[in-house]
Amino acid sequence: MVSFVRRGTRLQGKQLAAWERLSGHYLVDVSRASGATSVDPGARLDAPATFGRRAPLTVEIGSGLGDAVVAAAAAAPERDFLALDVYRPGLSDLMRKADTAGAPNIRVIEANAPEVFGTLLAPGSVDEVWMFFPDPWPKKRHHKRRLVSPAFAELVARVLRPGGRWRLATDWEEYAEQMRATLDEVPAFTPANDGPDGWAPRFDGRIETGFERKGIAAGRVIRDLTYIRR
């Protein structure tokens, strides 16, 4: 299950320096299967050992340049945050921002999210899953690449604790409607979309990023969704 086309991974200048200086703390070294972003099916994440403590864990899928997760981690030092992405320059920027913000409670994994959720994370080990502005793959022939699907929802349900939350946001109306229609039918989740017109209220823990501002400037409406693990 792959929902991305991987962009360049070359690091140089400040990004390379940040990677070399900070990856020892922030980057989780994952055993690979056959590809650079794959996960060995036998690998397991020991979260308490990785973070050096036991704390509620939030996993963000597609962390981009890291603005949202870094802001959240800096505001909630009592929680741990795991950021997943396949874009190495973005992960380098994230680590640099985390270091500047004084947010040591973040770890990053450069890997395909379905493989992380399918085997690497322990069942019931995650408190929240965040998926903000995933690639909408707007062309109809590419819809099959969209990550939100019944199959992926089962993987998210696998790792969330009972009562845990899956928070989503998108500025692509048709994708928002597909997300809601898909996830409303997944037995493992209870919808918590009690805002206007059947959408969730904006999540207070999600800052407005540059990406979101561009969507608003283009006239698109931001839709939030929340689902609770039964």
Catalytic residues: 135
What backbone phi and psi angles, to 5 degrees, belong to 185? -100, 0
- The C-alpha atoms of residue 70 and residue 219 are separated, in whole angstroms, by 27
The answer to whether residues 214 and 172 touch, using CB atoms and an 8 Å cutoff, is no
Whether 166 and 129 have beta carbons less than 8 Å apart is answered as yes
CB 83, CB 66: distance < 8 Å: yes
- Chain-centroid distance of CA 227 in Å reads 15
